[in-house]
């Protein structure tokens, strides 16, 4: 079968054949994923990417349940530089774009914390 266009819903598929005839078919379903599989099982803070970086980097983390979460960046002396997240978040995977354009080059730390979890990673800003 050769189709010009395919239209489908959850149970049926329709195609327009080369000759313009509408063709009805039952699509093959190869797999179904449970949405619960996408809910992380634990808290996790990943290493920023790229690292070292120049100006911008991505910080990814996951949380396993609805929590108040804080993600902060600190300089080498332990002074807070910026707060990236400071609110309640639903369980899921998150990615934050961190723009360090106004900071000096050097070593920084970022910390993800909640009432029962804390993790820190080191990142290097090149200038």
In-domain check, residue 102: yes
For residues 59 and 117, membership in a common domain is answered with: yes
Query: Are residues 64 and 114 located together in one domain of the fold?
Result: yes
Do 63 and 11 lie in one domain? The reply is: no
Compute the mean pLDDT over every residue in the chain, rounded to the nearest whole number.
81
- Judge if 46 and 84 occupy the same domain: yes
Model confidence pLDDT, tens digit, residues 51-78 = 999 999 999 999 999 999 999 999 999 9
Confidence (pTM) = 0.69
Residues 17 and 78 in one domain: no
Q: The domain containing residue 45 runs over which residues?
A: 39-125
Number of domains in the chain: 2
- Measured CA to CA in angstroms, residue 2 lies from 9, 19, 24, 120 at distances of 19, 10, 12, 55
Please give the residue that has the higher pLDDT: either 11 or 104: 104
Lowest mean pLDDT across 44-48, 64-68, 74-78, 121-125 = 64-68
User: Between vectors from CA 60 to CA 75 and to CA 88, what angle results, nearest 5°?
Assistant: 90
Residues 63 and 108 in one domain: yes
Q: Is 63:91 a contact under the CB 8 Å cutoff?
A: yes
């Amino acid at each position: 079968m050769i189709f010009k266009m395919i239209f489908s819903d959850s149970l049926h598929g329709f195609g327009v054949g080369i000759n313009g005839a509408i063709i009805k078919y039952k699509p093959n379903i190869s797999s179904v994923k449970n949405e619960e599989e996408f809910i992380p099982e634990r808290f996790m803070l990943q290493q920023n990417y790229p690292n070292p970086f120049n100006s911008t980097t991505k910080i990814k983390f996951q949380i396993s349940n609805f929590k108040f979460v804080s993600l902060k960046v600190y300089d080498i002396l332990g002074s807070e530089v910026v707060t990236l997240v400071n609110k309640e978040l639903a369980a899921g995977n998150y990615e934050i774009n961190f723009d360090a354009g106004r900071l000096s080059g050097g070593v920084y730390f970022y910390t993800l914390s909640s009432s029962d979890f804390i993790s820190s990673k080191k990142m290097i800003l090149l200038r």
